[in-house]
Amino acid sequence: MNRFYSLAHASIDFHFKQSPRDFVVEEIPLYEFSGEGEHLILFARKKGLSTIEMIERIARYLGIKNKEIGYAGLKDKHAMTKQYISLHRKYEEAMEGFNFDGIKILSKTYHNNKIRIGHLKANRFYIKLKKVNPTSAAKIDEILKNIDKQGVPNFFGYQRFGSDGNNHIFGEKLAKGEARERNPRVKKLLINAYQSHLFNLWLSRRLEINSLVNSFEANELESLLNMPKDEIEKMKAQSHPFKLISGDIMEHYPHGRLFDYEGAEDDLKRFNKRDISVTGLLPGKKARLATMEARAVEKDYDDDINADGARRYAWVYPSDIEGRFNQVEAQYELNFTLPKGSYATVLIEEIAKRKIN
């Protein structure tokens, strides 16, 4: 898909390729582990393996099922990643002899509960951009200041769509009962890719609307956007780069309950203060739908599929952003933290203002 970007700068030329040397991610757990309990918590470093592949290696070594090993989230294969996994404490002695190329246990502790999907707060990234000249480095410095100030759109990254980028095509057929997949994990992954594709299309359209609102007068946009003039004027009056539309579904940030945006000034203030953020639709059953003018945009990216739907933050705020330019090596090093479920490669694409895969 051709997507819109949130920042106004021209594209920047640099080289980036995911590899364990240039792409490092460390998981930040949702809670502090108690140090006692029946579950062994291992802090594991892996490279050249997906999280599922790491789990499979450990499960095969211990002679147990994959589901007996807990983890909070899936980490990229083409990176060096550090994440927490949990096992029953009875496997502690056996794990002392575990040795597999690409996996290293860095530390251990204990906890009362098994780690489950979603039990993470955020991820901390270290990324290296190469073939960066001084002019580009200065531009990246300014872009990072803008991102730190205003945040970024929360697109799904290219990793979501498979090596050929087409997982969503078969996912749509599965979601509509037009194809079959025996492996339930693979089926869910493919359907999620289709939901993610629709979300990305919607988010790109919303960024396009933002651009139009900033570029044209309200009377010119009325027919162009097929929206009432007073709605467009309300959008033009907003200071946030993402323009809210009446009927948007908001969520307390970085987690919390959903509620409808009805144009209240207090909600705009909370949005600007990062207390709340706007959400987009992952189509499916049980998902809460936008209303009013926001629904008029959203419905073009909705679909009646046999899967559970949800809402996802459309706008997120990277934190603890650091950037360093090494002129001798022509490299730019980045550190930043993203909330769970957000993609570092999306932030890199916002900086580059182009596709990087």
Q: What is the pLDDT of residue 243?
A: 98
Cα–Cα distance, 205 to 223 (Å, whole number):
16
| pLDDT confidence tier of residue 333, bands split at 50, 70 and 90 | very high
Q: Does 153-316 match 31-118 at the fold level?
A: no
Q: Could you tell me which CATH class the domain 31-118 is placed in?
A: alpha beta
| pLDDT confidence tier of residue 1, bands split at 50, 70 and 90 | low
Evaluate if residue 303 carries a pLDDT over 90.
yes
Using only the alpha carbons of the chain, give its radius of gyration.
Answer: 22
Asked if residue 130 lies in contact with residue 12, where contact means CB atoms within 8 angstroms, the answer is: no
Which two tokens mark 67? 């589901």
Sequence-distant (6+) residues with CB within 8 A of 313 are: 154, 251, 253, 277, 278, 279, 280, 339, 341, 342
Instruction: Render pLDDT for 258-276 as a digit per residue (tens, 0 to 9).
Output: 999 999 999 999 999 999 9
Q: What is the pLDDT of residue 33?
A: 96
Which two tokens mark 169? 């095509």
Evaluate if residue 27 carries a pLDDT over 70.
yes
Sequence-distant (6+) residues with CB within 8 A of 216 are: 224
Asked if residue 7 lies in contact with residue 350, where contact means CB atoms within 8 angstroms, the answer is: yes
Cα–Cα distance, 37 to 19 (Å, whole number):
36
Cα–Cα distance, 116 to 96 (Å, whole number):
23
Lowest-confidence segment of 93-97, 161-165, 186-190, 313-317 by average pLDDT: 161-165
Q: What is the mean pLDDT of the chain?
A: 95
Element (H, E) at 347: helix 344-352
Angle in degrees, CA 175, 179, 180, rounded to 5: 95
Domain residue ranges of the chain, discontinuous segments joined by +? 7-26+125-151+318-357, 31-118, 153-316
Which two tokens mark 64? 């147990």
23-29 and 80-88 beta bridge pairing = parallel
Q: What is the pLDDT of residue 177?
A: 92
DSSP sequence for 302-325: ----SSB-EEEESEE--EEEEEEE
Give the closest residue to 100 by CA, choosing from 73, 65, 60, 64: 60
Coil, strand or helix at 121: strand
Cα–Cα distance, 232 to 210 (Å, whole number):
10
Cα–Cα distance, 173 to 194 (Å, whole number):
9
Give the closest residue to 6 by CA, choosing from 209, 238, 232: 209
Candidates 76, 248, 267, 302; catalytic one: 76
Q: Among residues of the chain, what percentage have pLDDT more than 90?
A: 93
Asked if residue 104 lies in contact with residue 45, where contact means CB atoms within 8 angstroms, the answer is: yes
CATH superfamily assigned to domain 7-26+125-151+318-357: TruD, catalytic domain (3.30.2350.20)
Report the pLDDT averaged over residues 341-357: 94
- The CA-based diameter of the chain, rounded to the nearest angstrom, is 72
Coil, strand or helix at 295: helix
Q: What is the pLDDT of residue 87?
A: 97
Q: What CATH architecture is 153-316?
A: 2-Layer Sandwich (3.30)
Evaluate if residue 57 carries a pLDDT over 70.
yes
Angle in degrees, CA 191, 296, 230, rounded to 5: 145
| pLDDT confidence tier of residue 72, bands split at 50, 70 and 90 | very high
User: Is 76 one of the annotated active-site residues of the chain?
Assistant: yes
Asked if residue 179 lies in contact with residue 173, where contact means CB atoms within 8 angstroms, the answer is: yes
Neighbours of 309 (CB within 10 A): 17
Evaluate if residue 189 carries a pLDDT over 70.
yes
Type of residue at 166: N
